């Protein structure tokens, strides 16, 4: 079991676990990822051949893996979601292990809320600075913990994540709406409403924060809460930078995974599911 620094998690909103997953875990994940990519490619090819929109397809296929293509290439996978719903190995082996990690870190039982893999293909994939909690506000839990798992190396060149050294210290003295959470009173930072930067943190707030890049190797893990701001830049390399994100909520709020993905399958084009994401998927058809 890796070492979990609870104080850092409380103070910064995240921790980094160097090689948090074992070689065996990563082999299992690589095999699962190959299956999930194969299936994603197959779905995008079928949809392109039939001319059906993603929105129409998912309304009729509520148990399917959700695949979001790149805006400029309907056959290229930008991300896929609903991994636990679709892949047995991840459901039975990985998710329970991540629940143990979070229990060790927080002392609490968490259940999976959502999951996804970002392909972050060459030339794209920038995420503006944002707080994840903004994207989840249509369901009850107001505190989530995400486990990010890097399948590929994440570097400055290919768009690693940036997290604040200590955003609450940087933003001291400014009045923001506060939410009561298991990690104390955490702020909802002012964000843009509507337009291409919908959900992104307003620039004057971004400028007050001291950011640091989190470069990572395959098997490294970052665990972060849904309030800590983060962003990533475009992938300037010639290879994809795959990372999986498993987001959990405290069990006492209830289990929302099926409700969340039922809604997402039925309302694929709903812009509230596409907050601060790199491409305008809500408009995409294939």
Ligand X SMILES: O=C(O)CCC(=O)C(=O)O
What residues line the site for ligand X (CB under 6 A)?
118, 120, 125, 127, 132, 159, 161, 230, 232, 243, 245
Q: How far is the CB of 130 from ligand X (least distance, A)?
A: 6
> Residue 47 or 68: which CB sits closer to ligand X?
68
Residue number of the CB closest to ligand X reads 232
Ramachandran region of residue 221, left (φ > 0), alpha (ψ -120 to 50) or beta? beta
Secondary structure in 3-state letters for 5-31: CHHHHHHHCEEEECCCCCHHHHHHHHH
Q: Which of 269, 248, 268 is nearest to 145 (CA)?
A: 248
> Residue 47 or 230: which CB sits closer to ligand X?
230
Q: How far is the CB of 51 from ligand X (least distance, A)?
A: 29
> Is residue 19 classed exposed, middle or buried when 0-12, 13-18 and 19+ CB atoms within 10 A define those classes?
middle
As separate numbers, helices (DSSP H) first and strands (DSSP E) second, the chain gives 9, 13
Q: How far is the CB of 122 from ligand X (least distance, A)?
A: 13
Question: Helices (DSSP H) in the chain: which residue ranges?
Answer: 6-12, 23-50, 54-60, 83-86, 88-89, 95-106, 167-170, 203-208, 257-266
H helix or E strand, kind and range, residue 213: strand 211-214
Q: How far is the CB of 123 from ligand X (least distance, A)?
A: 14
> Residue 21 or 47: which CB sits closer to ligand X?
21
> Residue 47 or 148: which CB sits closer to ligand X?
148
> Residue 98 or 161: which CB sits closer to ligand X?
161
Q: How far is the CB of 56 from ligand X (least distance, A)?
A: 25
């Amino acid at each position: 079991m890796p070492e979990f620094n609870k104080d850092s998690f409380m103070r910064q909103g995240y921790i980094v676990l160097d090689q948090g997953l074992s070689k065996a875990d990563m082999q299992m994940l690589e095999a699962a990822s190959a299956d999930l990519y194969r299936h994603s490619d197959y779905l995008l090819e079928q949809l392109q051949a039939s001319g059906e929109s993603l929105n129409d397809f998912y309304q009729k296929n509520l148990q399917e893996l959700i695949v979001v293509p790149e805006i400029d290439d309907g056959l290229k996978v930008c991300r896929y979601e609903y991994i636990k719903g679709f892949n047995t190995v991840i459901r039975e082996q990985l998710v329970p292990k991540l629940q143990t990690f979070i229990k060790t870190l927080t002392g609490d039982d968490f259940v999976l809320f959502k999951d996804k893999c970002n392909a972050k293909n060459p030339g794209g994939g920038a995420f503006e600075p944002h707080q994840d909690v903004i994207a989840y506000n249509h369901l009850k839990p107001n505190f989530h913990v995400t486990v990010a798992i890097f399948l590929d190396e994440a570097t400055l060149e290919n768009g690693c994540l940036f997290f604040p050294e200590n955003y609450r210290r940087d933003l001291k003295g400014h009045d923001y709406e506060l939410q009561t959470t298991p990690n104390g009173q955490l702020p909802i930072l002012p964000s843009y409403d509507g337009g291409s930067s919908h959900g992104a943190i307003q620039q004057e707030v971004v400028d007050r924060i001291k950011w640091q890049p989190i470069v990572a190797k395959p098997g490294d893990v970052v665990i972060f809460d849904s309030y800590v701001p983060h962003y990533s830049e475009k992938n300037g390399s010639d290879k994809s930078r795959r990372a999986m994100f498993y987001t959990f909520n405290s069990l006492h709020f209830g289990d929302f995974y099926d409700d969340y993905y039922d809604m997402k399958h039925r309302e694929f084009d709903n812009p509230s599911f596409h907050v601060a994401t790199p491409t305008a998927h809500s408009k995409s058809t294939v």
